[in-house]
Chains A and B, each alone.
Chain A
Amino acid sequence: MKPPPFAYHAPTTLDEALQLMAEHGYGAKVLAGGQSLIATMNFRLAAPAVLIDLNKIPELSIIQPTAEGGALVGAMTRHVQVEQSELIARTAPLLHATMPHIAHPQIRNRGTFGGSIAHADPAAELPAFLRAVRGQVLAQSRRGQRWIDADDFFIGLFSTALEPDEIVTAVRLPAMPARSGWSMQELSRRHGDFALVAVEALLTLDADGACDDVRLAFCGVGEGPVLATAAAAVLQGQRPTAEVIEAAAAIAASDDVDPHSDVHATSAYRRHLVDVLAKRALTAACARAAGEEV
């Protein structure tokens, strides 16, 4: 349980980090909080030749309001900073509700927002959150920078649209739409453990009280964060009665997800959880969108 040798670089500016990424490309790994990377290195599941440690670049650790009423979160912002941010609590209540579910306090003290997004663990909450709210990821390299929509960023198991020389430097969260409601539901064996299944929901009600733009994203049930498009289609344009919500949750479980079985839970059990948690999330999100206290 000792990590293999690597060449270590700790740049103090982003420019320097991007230069190192351009030089070392495929052989390099970015060290952010290290809460997943160092564990996999200890197991020798990962053996990067070069580590580029971003912990000495203060400009990557920020939480700022955006002109559109959302928030910009720097990639090296620790989970605990996001959890305790008043700006996040105000502008991104779904994220505020999600943060306490991410691992344990010791991990949240060290783990980073951008690290979790870039790692793209299919059981992690933040990738599902980012898809639910249509967040965007800022990828930078020596060649330039680009914003990547969350829907295009996560492409598979621990896989993202990042090029080998790109670093995630920030994440942009849109403002909460008018008449919108949100909910986060999770089941894990122990508080802070990886979710067996979790769901992140954000939806809007139109002037007549019918569902518009339903975003329901799951973690723990696929190769990445799974967007429940079939369930959203059931709800679209419908008033969210208990029957409609029940039907949408059932479709989410039958059509939108294809969960695997592992030592933690069977596929059938995960499917059952998708149904139950989707129902709870949709009910709570609709109530919030209608202005009710939840």
Chain B
Amino acid sequence: MNQIMKISVTVNGVLYERSVEPRLLLSDFIRHELGLTGTHVGCEHGVCGACTILFDGAAVRSCLMFAVQADAHEIVTVEGLSPDPQHLDALQEAFWEAHGLQCGFCTPGFLMTLKPFLAQNPDPSDEEIREAISGNLCRCTGYEHIVDAVKLAAAKMKESSS
């Protein structure tokens, strides 16, 4: 039953062509085949949110998709957030400044969840932020600093666009 399928996937603007077994999870494809280990794997059953990526622009859990399903689609991982190696994205900067992380394991998932959220809702309330991150677990911060970081990021983004 060793079916092998050829896929081409655009990840962070780069087109990758690989041959994969259908059962390979997208999360493992990103980490092991592409070496992009910024996407973290926590629970592997869709509960913790650490493996969240952007799939055609929408935040999804990469542990609940197969790599073959990403054929001809576009993915952004946490490595694709910053414009260049010298600079962080405004959201990343805000997490840094507001202590939105401690161990950092959950952070890539939070960032990829929040990136489209802030694009759609540039001035969110505390309640909206908490709802947006309800699918991401963090065992260090107690979430308070993460909510602060999101508000700071929203302010930074507003400043840079005005």
Q: Which A residues contact B (CB, under 8 angstroms)?
A: 1-8, 10, 34-35, 38-39, 42-43, 51, 53, 55, 80, 100, 103-107, 109-110, 190-192
Contact A104–B64 (Cβ < 8 Å): no
**Closest Cβ of chain A: how far from B113's Cβ, in Å?**
6
**Closest Cβ of chain A: how far from B136's Cβ, in Å?**
8
Given A8-B66, A105-B135, 13 further pairs, Cβ under 8 A: A1-B45, A2-B25, A5-B22, A5-B23, A6-B1, A7-B22, A38-B25, A39-B46, A39-B64, A51-B22, A105-B113, A107-B46, A110-B65
CA distance A79 to B22 in the complex (A): 25
Judge whether B61 is part of the interface by a CB distance below 8 angstroms.
Answer: yes
Q: Which B residues contact A (CB, under 8 angstroms)?
A: 1-3, 5, 21-23, 25, 28, 44-46, 49, 52, 55, 58-61, 63-66, 68-69, 113, 117, 130-132, 134-136
Measured between beta carbons, the chain B residues less than 8 angstroms from A38 are 25, 46, 63-66
Measured between beta carbons, the chain B residues less than 8 angstroms from A109 are 55, 58-60
**Closest Cβ of chain A: how far from B72's Cβ, in Å?**
10
Contact A107–B68 (Cβ < 8 Å): no
Q: 15 A-B Cβ contacts within 8 A? A: A2-B28, A3-B25, A5-B21, A5-B23, A8-B3, A34-B64, A34-B65, A34-B66, A38-B46, A42-B45, A80-B58, A107-B135, A110-B58, A110-B64, A192-B135
CA distance A246 to B44 in the complex (A): 44
The B interface, classified by DSSP as helix, strand, loop or mixed, is mixed
CA distance A38 to B132 in the complex (A): 23
Closest A residue to B131 by beta carbon equals A191
Contact A42–B68 (Cβ < 8 Å): no
**Closest Cβ of chain B: how far from A122's Cβ, in Å?**
18
**Closest Cβ of chain B: how far from A43's Cβ, in Å?**
6
Measured between beta carbons, the chain B residues less than 8 angstroms from A2 are 23, 25, 28
The A interface, classified by DSSP as helix, strand, loop or mixed, is loop
Measured between beta carbons, the chain B residues less than 8 angstroms from A191 are 130-131, 134
Contact A105–B1 (Cβ < 8 Å): no
Contact B23–A106 (Cβ < 8 Å): no
Measured between beta carbons, the chain A residues less than 8 angstroms from B132 are 105
Give the contacting residue for B134; candidates A1, A10, A104; CB below 8 A. A104
Measured between beta carbons, the chain A residues less than 8 angstroms from B68 are 8, 10
Contact B45–A43 (Cβ < 8 Å): yes
Closest B residue to A111 by beta carbon equals B64
Contact B45–A39 (Cβ < 8 Å): yes
Cβ-closest 9 pairs across A and B: A104-B135, A8-B22, A1-B44, A39-B45, A109-B58, A191-B134, A192-B134, A38-B64, A110-B60
CA distance A188 to B16 in the complex (A): 41
Measured between beta carbons, the chain B residues less than 8 angstroms from A5 are 1-2, 21-23
Measured between beta carbons, the chain B residues less than 8 angstroms from A10 are 68-69
CA distance A51 to B69 in the complex (A): 12
Measured between beta carbons, the chain B residues less than 8 angstroms from A35 are 46, 61, 64
Give the contacting residue for B69; candidates A6, A39, A55, A106; CB below 8 A. A55
Measured between beta carbons, the chain B residues less than 8 angstroms from A42 are 25, 44-45, 63
Measured between beta carbons, the chain A residues less than 8 angstroms from B60 are 106, 109-110
Give the contacting residue for B113; candidates A3, A43, A106; CB below 8 A. A106
Measured between beta carbons, the chain B residues less than 8 angstroms from A39 are 45-46, 64
